Amino acid sequence: MKRFLFVLGLCLVGAGLYLTTPAQATTACGTEFAFYAKNRIAFENGDTNILGNVLVSSPTGLVKVGNQVQIDGRVTAHEIQLGTGVVVKECKADIISGPGVCTDSTSFGTFSGANPVDPTCLIYPEADPVDFGTCDVNTATDQTFFAANNPNTLLVGTGCFGDLKVKDGAILNLSGTYNFKTIRLGAESKVNGPATVNVKGSFTAEPRVELTDLDINSAQQVGEAIFGNSSILSNVTFNAPDTRIHIRTGWLMKNGSELVADALAIQPGDAENGGGENPVCTCEPGFTPEAVVFCIPDVVNP
């Protein structure tokens, strides 16, 4: 799995805690991010809870955090706007405005001040991220999968295809690297990896789609990549540096999932350890996890 902007956290092994680190990532601005955009990220008003970090890399970039959004992580951008009822754990910005609260807005300094020290803050994957090799997706054969044939499996290894359509309720299992012209996922369909998926044109996921163990690289430049209501992403990186990603209400991102795009429009949903800087920790028997990275004994000796 590709990982953007990683920093290694610490677990107290001596206190009965084992450490499982996320996959290796490119370091920038000293952390890893669940939501990463070049120009703008807008979290719309509503009940959104994010365990993870947020970055806009442009020197004039904006993160707009709508009413009632809660971010247990670091938001980094030139400008951050905080709506009513917003609580953000850490803010790193030149301009912070609005009635919301950044619990810590000083320890990490300003965005512009950080860039000369760590120029990786301004690095953004602007080049086309998709290498199709000799594959011409415009002339390749289309692929359509139906629920009646569940579970469906596409060619294992490397494949060159035209349009991919996974119909309502269909399950598609992938293993390898795949090139597609466009992708359309029907309602309640599922696509499982491990796989790398390259798509030249549009990507559309209808409501209640589930994606697992996928690296998706989009060369789309017109329109936006769309996730319908109640989408679930588990261990998924969606990289669309030349277009906008729009993820609709009720989404769930987990197991280190990340969205990378020129701009992001985020309706209410939840990110559980979505690119957050803490590793996943597991306690020994007799210990209980506390505050993500600590284990405390179930019984305290007098």
Tens digits of residue pLDDT in 215-251:
999 999 888 999 999 999 999 999 998 899 999 999 9
Q: Answer yes or no: are the C-beta atoms of 16 and 288 closer than 8 Å.
A: no
Q: Answer yes or no: are the C-beta atoms of 156 and 176 closer than 8 Å.
A: yes
Residue 117 has a pLDDT of 56
Cα distance between residue 184 and residue 203, in whole Å: 6
Q: Answer yes or no: are the C-beta atoms of 289 and 5 closer than 8 Å.
A: no
Q: Lowest mean pLDDT: which of 92-101, 102-111, 248-257, 287-296?
A: 287-296
Quick one: 14 exposed, middle or buried, by C-beta within 10 A (0-12, 13-18, 19+)? exposed
Residue 260, pLDDT above cutoff 60: yes
Residue 297, pLDDT above cutoff 50: no
Share of the chain above pLDDT 70, in %: 73
Domain positions in the chain? 1-126+241-302, 130-218
Q: Confidence class of residue 104 from pLDDT cuts 50, 70 and 90? A: confident
Which token pair is 49?
A: 């809870």
Digit-coded pLDDT (tens) for 261-276: 999 999 999 998 654 4
Which token pair is 173?
A: 């299992």
- Per-residue pLDDT, averaged over 55-70, amounts to 93
Q: Which amino acid is at 106?
A: T
Beta bridge pairs of residue 60: none
- Per-residue pLDDT, averaged over 14-18, amounts to 36
**Residue among 172, 175, 126 at smallest CA distance from 153:** 172
Q: Answer yes or no: are the C-beta atoms of 241 and 129 closer than 8 Å.
A: yes
DSSP state of 286: T
**In whole angstroms, how far apart are CA 42 and each of 35, 130, 161, 265?**
10, 26, 34, 5
